[in-house]
Amino acid sequence: MKLIGPFKQIIPMTGLSLKGAISDNQLEIIKDGGILIKEGKIRAVGEFTEMLTTVKSNEIETHQLSGDHTCLPGLIDAHTHICFGGSRANDYAMRNSGKTYQEISKAGGGIWDTVTQTRKATKEELVKGIVKRAKRHLANGVTTLEVKSGYGLSIPEELKMLFAIKEANETIATDLVATCLAAHMFPKDYSGNPEAYLEEMVTNLLPILKEENLANRIDAFIEEGAFTPEVIEPYFKKAKDLGFDITVHADQFSTGGSEVAIKHDAISADHLEASTEKEISLLAKSNVISVALPGASLGLGCAFTPARKLLDAGGALAIASDHNPGSAPMGDLLTQAAILGTFQKLSNAEVLAGITVRAAAALNLSDRGQLDTGFLADLSIFHTNDYKEILYNQGNFKPCMVWKKGELVYNKHKH
């Protein structure tokens, strides 16, 4: 067993509702606390000196901290695309020079550019890229990271991506949660129609995902220029029948996707920048978690997800980075969450819940996102005596230590 502390503050993120607004006074704050860990899980959270007295023995490994420290659960990024080849720096430059999405695509940019570059990359090159990006996320406190395929858009290439994600997951401390996004866009080189493409994915790709334990989550981009609600519905129905969880790229530029997410009991609907009062009301009444992606708003220069309205309507809100080479290249969850909080007037509690306990729910994971008995000992530790400093610094204040399943996996002072 291990005992870590003392912390000036532990913010366990326990006892919070999954849905609706949260005020900062609802956050439990454990002062001068300690965390007892056994076999990668939290055994107890309490007052440090009391715990130290109780557990003093040779079998307890004590990690006594000096100075001021505040502990949060390990952060969870519930939506990323960090498995890719190449760069889209040219897209970014063109977009900021006033070119439209369509003009960039015609000039050889857009998602298809990344598909082309990802197909050229070997599986080993993809693994190397995932590991590099995941380690950067880990240094920023992110201990669980969702990673999508979707730049392969053929059975062999989607499998190459998903095997790369699986291999990367076996070599790093971070938990990678794979999602199959074979329905990212209709591939330009496919000879049939979108219906035939999706049927091929259902028949020939999805069973392999189950056999090889590559992914338990299916995603699709419902949007003009990608897949329509009508075309995607049979695909989702068959995926659900096969036992997959559903998540949706919804309401990014136009509406329609969130209604499909609700109809198919999706775990989450992500993006939602275009959602109107109608979609907000429907999402709030459903069990679907709304996932705001401020990185895409910052990358594209468009409106933020209406996070405040979703929460006030009683919805569940998670916040993720959308880290991808095209629209969200920054990939800094804490920075983006803090900025979203500023523009949407979110409480510290709402922002922190969005990247911990509510983000865990967006990935259908019930063993993390909180510091409580039985939960994974995933800790993000900051050099401060007041948790409010973390968001106040808008991402400029990074963790000094990160623990994953009870092991110290990042120490700022040794990097």
Which residue do the tokens 């000039």 mark?
107
Angle at 256 between CA 326 and CA 336, to 5 degrees: 40
Token representation of residue 90? 């040219």
Angle at 188 between CA 185 and CA 193, to 5 degrees: 75
Of 223, 320, 328, the C-alpha closest to 274 is 223
Residue 105's pLDDT is 84
Give domain limits for the chain: 2-73+369-414, 76-362
Which residue do the tokens 């993006």 mark?
271
Note the CATH number of domain 76-362.
3.20.20.140
DSSP code for 16: -
Token representation of residue 129? 């890229």
Of 182, 134, 130, 176, the C-alpha closest to 158 is 182
39: which strand partners?
Answer: none
Query: Residues 298, 336: contact at Cβ < 8 Å?
Result: yes
Residue 232's pLDDT is 98
240: which strand partners?
Answer: none
* pTM for the structure as a whole: 0.97
Task: Report residues of the chain scoring pLDDT below 70.
Answer: 58, 415
Query: Residues 65, 3: contact at Cβ < 8 Å?
Result: no
Query: Residues 232, 183: contact at Cβ < 8 Å?
Result: yes
Q: What kind of fold does domain 2-73+369-414 have according to CATH?
A: Urease, subunit C; domain 1 (2.30.40)
Query: Residues 75, 369: contact at Cβ < 8 Å?
Result: no
Question: How many beta carbons lie within 10 A of that of residue 388, not counting itself?
Answer: 12
Residue 414's pLDDT is 72
